[in-house]
Amino acid sequence: MDATAVCAARALGAGDRRELVILPLLFGAFQAGMASLGLAGGRAAADYIAAWDHWVAGILLVGIGIKMVVDALRSGDEPPAPGTLFLYLGLALATSIDAAAAGLTLHLLSVEPWLSLTLIGTITAACSGLGYAAGRALGHRVGSKLGAIGGLVLIGIGIDILIRAP
């Protein structure tokens, strides 16, 4: 759900249609990849992942959200610049760190891990694509300043992750 919300928030101020493909694919791949790392890491990495996942995810989302707000307020009515590879990878990483912790429990399920990982990636990509499309439609109706609201949403998600952390 965080990947879907981030895609929707990014789409609110985005002007580049290729993000509709890039972000869902990256988010799905990172979710499945991080879950597979958690599965591979097993118990040895459990304490390390649990100790740091919320800090990394929260700080990345707050930072990206602040940048989105600043960019939206500076741009006026001109279309926003396309995202960079660094931005896309940062968003994908920030929304998938918790998947590594979830991957630690995949061996407990009564289903093959490859099937779980495939479903994690596919469902994340599909939901992210729908979230992006919905955010883009809303952004076109309301206006370009909605990108600032999208940034505030990311900041809120990041703060929520930090507050709810153990």
| Model confidence pLDDT, tens digit, residues 60-109 | 778 878 877 887 777 655 655 677 888 889 888 888 887 887 787 777 77
- pTM exceeding 0.85: no
Residue 14's pLDDT is what? 61
pLDDT tens digits, 10-49: 787 666 778 889 999 999 999 999 999 888 876 566 666 6
Residue 165 DSSP label: -
What pLDDT sits at residue 32? 95
CB 134 within 8 A of CB 8: yes
What is the distance between the alpha carbons of residues 50 and 142, in angstroms, rounded to a whole number? 39
Alpha-carbon gap, residue 127 to 138, rounded angstroms: 16
- The pLDDT score that the predictor gives to residue 125 is 95
- Tens of pLDDT, residue by residue over 28-37, are 999 999 999 8
Q: For 120-158, write each residue's pLDDT tens digit.
A: 999 999 999 998 988 888 877 766 566 677 778 888 888
For residue 27, the model assigns a pLDDT of 95
Determine contact, residues 103/119, Cβ cutoff 8 Å. Answer: no
The phi and psi torsions of 110 (rounded to 5 degrees) equal: -90, 30
- Given this model, what pLDDT does residue 74 score? 75
